Amino acid sequence: MHVSSSKRWLVGLTLVAVLLFSAFLWVKPLLHIGGGYAAKHACSCHFLQGRTLEDISENDLNFSVLGQFSLGVQDRTVESSLFGLVTRRAAFLGERGCVLINDDAMPLPTVVENTPVFPDPAELSTELLPDYDDALDYGMRDVPGGGARGMVILENGRLVAERYREGFDATTPLLGWSMTKTLTGMAIGVYLESHASNGLSPTETVERTNQLFPGIWTDDRSRVALTDLMHMNSGIEWNEGYGSITDATVMLHEKADFAEFAQRHRLTQAPGTVWNYSSGTTNMLMDFLREELGGNDRLYAFLDSLYGPIAPSLVIEPDQSGRPVGSSYGWATTRDWARLGQFMLQNGVWQGDTLLPPGWIDYMREPAAGSEDLYGAQLWLPGPETPSLPEDAFMMRGFQDQRVFIIPSRNLVIARLGHGEDKVTDFEGLISRILAARE
């Protein structure tokens, strides 16, 4: 039977359409995650940093398919759209920052009407030294995807060096990503000190506190102690990979309640034996604080009372349940990130007040079992990629090469924040130049 060429074309076009539609259905979950990232990040950058959507799309959403999403803003909402096939929205909550809308049926967290203000802390003593100019030049070089947007060096508590990328300055909040985990870890210590019982210290209490989430953990997970969460060796399964569909990306861009999602993962290893980096773990720590303190408003008040005197610009954005995202969404000026490092260098003492329990920073610096001595309790320890760092150094560390290095033996704090591909910054070259500048 003869088949006309027009019919063959029709069959071919139909087959192509079916294949394209099938391919779209296959990649749609990943595109949905990408759209969520685009909407949330654009919302935060637009409202917290005051940047245009065009600038954000060009300079922040410049990897993967993110640049293909169009952005629009209406009132307090930013929408990302990929040709109308995938649409995501994020809402501005005033001084709480932005939240990604992952469940249209769930109410949004309360809007706190005050607009965040990011002052230049007047009490930061300044004595800029030309010794560090070459190191700053090196640190501000372009890297794949961008570069540093702010760098600050504190020596003996004084601001001795500072540099910003065009369009950013000392009052611009910058996203610390997983540096926020260290703030969560310090907050746990403060809470335990104020609620310790039976004469135990916070470092003793953290070891003995288990039965953490009795509503969900009714099995062997009840054996997981608070210190296991602090050290990322709880034994709870988790895939922290980025750039694909993993526990981390699904949590951040698909779930309304981040901690509840993490809590429902099963126990696969004996607690305290295997190290597995997990943003879900830190959000469980923040949920522990929320439950203990009695709700989100009290949790935010607790965090504000702790960090307000040190880093007045700090904003930790919430998930849709209203809980601050202790794993990932801390914003502060570069100076305030450095001041948080100085606070840690001073073992939790600020302007004469002891805000952290004595010994808590030492506890956080104890290497986690299974981490090859690279990770403590919600902070990082020196590794082979930075051999110039003294052994007593430790750091806050986040995605896309956010870093705050704390070096007690040199009375130095080095903050570097920016945007680019992850793990492309030559921190060894930067650190070695900074240390050599004052020798």
Strand bridging mode 173-175 / 315-316: unpaired
Q: Give the separation between CA 283 and CA 279, rounded to whole angstroms.
A: 6
Position 243 scores a pLDDT of: 81
- Give pLDDT, residue 112: 84
Considering only CA atoms, which of 69, 62, 71 is closest in space to residue 85? 69
Please write the tens of the pLDDT for every residue from 294-308: 999 999 999 999 999
Distance of CA 167 to the CA centre of its chain: 22
- 101-154 pLDDT, tens digit per residue, is 999 999 999 888 765 555 555 466 788 889 999 999 999 999 999 999 999 999
Reduced 3-state DSSP string for 176-217: CHHHHHHHHHHHHHHHHHHHCCCCCCHHHHHHHCCCCCCCCC
Query: Is 381:365 a contact under the CB 8 Å cutoff?
Result: yes
Query: In this predicted model, what pLDDT tens digit does every residue of 210-242 receive, in sequence order?
Result: 999 999 999 999 999 999 999 999 999 999 999
Q: What is the pLDDT of residues 324-360, one digit of tens each?
A: 999 999 999 999 999 999 999 999 999 999 999 999 9
Cβ atoms 289, 298 nearer than 8 A = no
CB 238 within 8 A of CB 281: yes
Q: Please, what is the average pLDDT of the chain?
A: 92
What percent of the chain is modeled with pLDDT above 90? 85
Number of CB atoms found within 10 A of residue 366's CB:
15
Q: What is the pLDDT of residue 186?
A: 98
Question: What is the C-alpha to C-alpha distance for residues 167 and 64, in angstroms, rounded to an integer?
Answer: 24
pLDDT of 323 > 90? The answer is: yes
Give pLDDT, residue 26: 47
pLDDT at 25 over 70: no
CA distance 200 to 405: 31
What is the spatial distance between Cα 78 and Cα 73, in angstroms, rounded to a whole number? 4
Regarding beta strands 402-407 and 158-164, do their DSSP bridges make them parallel or antiparallel, or are they unpaired?
unpaired
Q: State the DSSP string of 402-428.
A: EEEEEEGGGTEEEEEEEESSTT-S-HH
Report the SS3 class of residue 312. coil
Burial of 419 (0-12, 13-18, 19+ CB in 10 A): buried
User: 8 falls in which pLDDT band (50, 70, 90)?
Assistant: low
What angle is formed at CA 155 by the lines to CA 151 and CA 158, rounded to 5 degrees? 85
Angle at 151 between CA 145 and CA 155, to 5 degrees: 155
Q: Which domains does the chain have, with CATH numbers?
A: 5-92 (no CATH), 173-437 (3.40.710.10)
344, 351 in Cβ contact below 8 A?
A: no
